[in-house]
Structures are given as C-alpha cells and as structure tokens.
Amino acid sequence: MTPADLIPAPRSSECRADSPGCFSLDERTSLDAAPGTGGVARWLRAAVGTATGLPLPDGAGPHAVRLRISADVERELGPEGYRLSTDGSVADVAVLIEGGSAAGVFWGAQTLRQLLGPDAFRRAPITAGRDWDLPLVTVEDAPRFPWRGLMLDVSRHFTPKDGVLRYLDLLAAHKLNVFHFHLTDDQGWRVEIKRFPKLTEVGAWRARTKYGHRASELWDEKPHGGFYTQDDIREIVAYAAERHISVVPEIDIPGHSQAAIAAYPELGNTDVIDTTRLSVWDTWGVNPNVLAPTDNTLRFYEGVLEEILELFPAKTSPFVHIGGDECPKDQWKASPAAQARIKELGLSGEDGLQSWFIRHFDRWLADRGRRAIGWDEILEGGLAPGAAVSSWRGYAGGIEAARAGHDVVMCPEQQVYLDHRQAAGPDEPMPIGYVRTLEDVYRFEPVPPQLTEAEARHVLGTQANVWTEVMQDQARVDYQVFPRLAAFAEVAWSALPAPAARDFADFERRMRSHYPRLDALGVAYRPPGGPLPWQRRPGVLGRPIDGSPPNV
C-alpha cells in the first residue's frame, strides 16, 4: 500500500516510488515508545502485533518503530497532527511517528496499519513468517475538525457491549474521535443507575418490537432488551480513551422518555393519563408520553446524572447530551399541574416549559464542570453561554446557534443520517428516507457558506447519526453505516475542496483498497453493486421518499 491508498486522505505525502518496500517489519522490529506514548505501543501490539504475529518488544535500534510526542509537530500541525516517516531520513530507526500529542501519535499508528495492507486488520496472522513491507514515505497529516463523531442509537435496538467495543475500533480505524452514545429513549433504558434500579429492571425490556417502519403490520414477538452495567460503561469509556475517542452519553429529557416513565410512573403526567399502565414502547415515532415538569422529576434526573458523571469522567467526556428534541406538548396543555407550573414560573407557554427543563440541566451540568449539548430544539427559549447544539433538522439550527455564539456539531438529517437508504433499488432493506449515496456523503460540507469566518469557528465539527429502529442486529447496522462512514470520515478529517470540486473518482479508487480492510475487520458493508441476497429484507415495509432531499 502507498499513501495514495489512504482513507481518510492525508494532508501531504511524499513517496519514493523508485524503491518500494525498502523497509519491512519483521521479527527484529521493536517499539521505541517515549513517555506519553505507552498507550499507542499497547495498541500496536494488540492490533498490529496480533495481525502480523510479530512480538514488537520494547527497545530502540535500527529496526524500531519510534513513537514520539513532538512540540514541533504540535506547533506546525496541532495536537492531533502527526508526521510518519519510513524514508530513511532518520538514522537508526525503521519507522518514526511523531505526534503533537499522544492522540496524534495514535492517528499516525493508524496510518502505519493501513500502509501495511489489509491483512494487518485481521485478528491473527494468515501467513507465518511473513515480512511486512512498507513504502518509503513521509506523511504529514492533521484533522480539519476537532469533533469527528458517530452517534449510535442502542435504545431502539440494543448493541451488546462487545459490539460497542467493536464500533470504537471501527471509529479509530477511520480517525473518528467522538462516540455519541444514545442510551435512553421510549423503547429502552440502557445504563444501570444504582439508585433507581427499575430503570433497567423494567425500562430495559420490551415485550415485542415493530418489524420495519411503524406502518408495517409485522411484529417481532420476541422480547427485546439489554443494558450496560456500570462496570460495562467504565470499560467502554476506558477502551475509547485508549483510542483517543471521547464518549458523549445521551440521557433524553423531557421527551423520548416512556421507558423511564414505565419504570417510575410518577415521572409522567399522572393528572392526564394513568402512567401505571404504560410499558416500554414497542413501536417507532414521536411518543406523546413526556416527563412531568415537577420538582420530583428534576431531583430524579439530577440523581441519574450524578451517576452518569461518575461513569463518564470529565477528562474523556466533557459533554453530556440531554436530548431535548421531539417533545410533544399535548399532555402539558391538558395538565393542570403543568399549567400551574407555567404560571408559577412566568413562562410564555408549553415551549417555555421545555426550555425551562433544558436550562435547568444546562446550569446543573455547568455547575459541575460539564457542558450540555442537545438537539437543535434546545435553542427555543434560549441557552446558557456554554451549551452546544447538535444541528440535526438541517443547517438552520446550527447557523442560528453559531451566530448566537454557541458551539455547533453539524449532523443534518438529510446529509448524514446513515439510517437513510443508500440507493433507490427495490432490494434495499427496509428503505428509509431520501437516497443518500456514498457520493452524496462524500460531497457533504459541514460548514454552511452563510457563516462568517468568526461564526464558522463555532462549528466544532460534524457527526454521522445512526438510528436503529430498522436495524435489529450488527449486520444491519454495518450495512447502513459502511461504506458511507469512510466517506464521512474523509469529510471530517481531510481538507477537501468545495463539494462540487471533490475528486469522487479518486475516492472510489481508494475504496477499492479499503474494502479489503473492511473485509478483514468483518464489516458487513453494502457492496458497491448493491445488497447481497442475505442483506435484503423482502416484504418488510420501509418509508422511502422520492426526489432530492431539502437543503434547509
């Protein structure tokens, strides 16, 4: 492999094509890890060492892979930047990886793995005694955005812990560094909260599940559920941190809360409906059962968030996502208690009540050194200065937030919701939404042209979102996410030209080298020619939308 095959594309590279494969990793190769790079050395042994069968012991010397944190690289390329050299310019070392921080060294190690070829992505060597050739190359690279994320919904369909760890590895392989962990919704509560055990005893399980779109007449009658223990969460967070990935937990407030209300009925609007009759929701859509605006509800979620903050330390999880989207107001309109609260607080109405919820937890988190982030509906009613916005309903919310001085993560539905279908053919499984092809994702631009340079600095980055209503297992998630996540990763990392000027033909060429890497990793991606027979779901209703998506 050469730098011309890398995904995402590096900032710059030089390759001596006159003598390819001059350096080889072999039984003599050691790891010379300077202070601060020990985690990268551990990863290289666990991933590359396992795939190649090479022991990669500690030690310096002419056959070493040298790992260094460099002030020069940080100054020139930033903390996540790196310089990788196998061109012989450094005496007495086979490979030199210098990063602006340990994260930069790690991203350089990911590039090294790609240069070794697809077999370096396997879990055991398939050829004994093989030397692993490297091109003579110098790569200098750095990301465009500090926030390069994937949101995985584990509430609609539960992803077991090992599946989450696998996705963290897949993010790292694509130089993505934020994992947005959607842990609660109407269809399931997925994180153990010790002071409120019924959240998982009751809220983590539903009796059956709608199969396909909510208009489908099909049901999966098997009970579905699961949750992560607190030690599972600690393991996930630590595993992510070793890969320089931040984990952003999401606890939905005040909508998308039926699973919590099913577990603790007093959280709901008991003066409007009999909340004791609610169960964990078994279908999809926007649910009318929302949290009651009571002091008891506030204290309950403060207790939940106290445990969440302990599980997700500030060093690795400075942001906590509080949802804030799709909160129907019908129950509050009918609730005497909610109306009394609106009057007591001097609010403008039910929209003001939702803003009151969000601002309460915004302040509560800020008082504890964390930053709240929520879907763009949280802009309604105003935000505290430190709060950030996930702009999902299009670009408009992000533009409004950036102009108001709030940081923004751009994740517009019609561009980067990977649950949307990838082609218009009849064999696409459970087709949802407008067609969003690999090329469409590659031409996505996170920064709206309407923003000034100063306003654009509030765009922290971008994120692809994966909602799992019609993804009942790992293979279905893989199919929807890949290969489009590779295109998204390049958009988030690389300094690409304007969308129309991007060289998609070259990206497709590089994908021909990348598919074997995904094969080695066991990713059940959508093939370029369309779904394989076992990837189809004939007869299961979706919600395809024809035409071009709105650019709002």
Catalytic residues: 185, 256, 326
CA 419 to the chain's CA centroid? 13
φ, ψ dihedrals at 352, nearest 5° = -65, -30
Q: In what order do the strands lie in the sheet with 82-85?
A: 12-15, 137-141, 82-85, 95-99, 64-69, 30-33
* Contact predicate 52/31, CB 8 Å: no
Q: Spell out a b/e string for 418-450, using b for 16 or more CB atoms within 10 Å of the CB, else e.
A: bbbbbeeeeebbbbbbbbbebebbbbbbbbbee
CA distances from 131 to 18, 26, 126, 404 (A): 20, 5, 12, 56
* Contact predicate 92/30, CB 8 Å: no
Cα 360–Cα 280–Cα 379 angle in degrees, nearest 5? 30
* Contact predicate 366/386, CB 8 Å: yes
Class of residue 128 by CB neighbours under 10 A (exposed 0-12, middle 13-18, buried 19+): exposed
CA gap 55, 153 in Å, rounded: 38
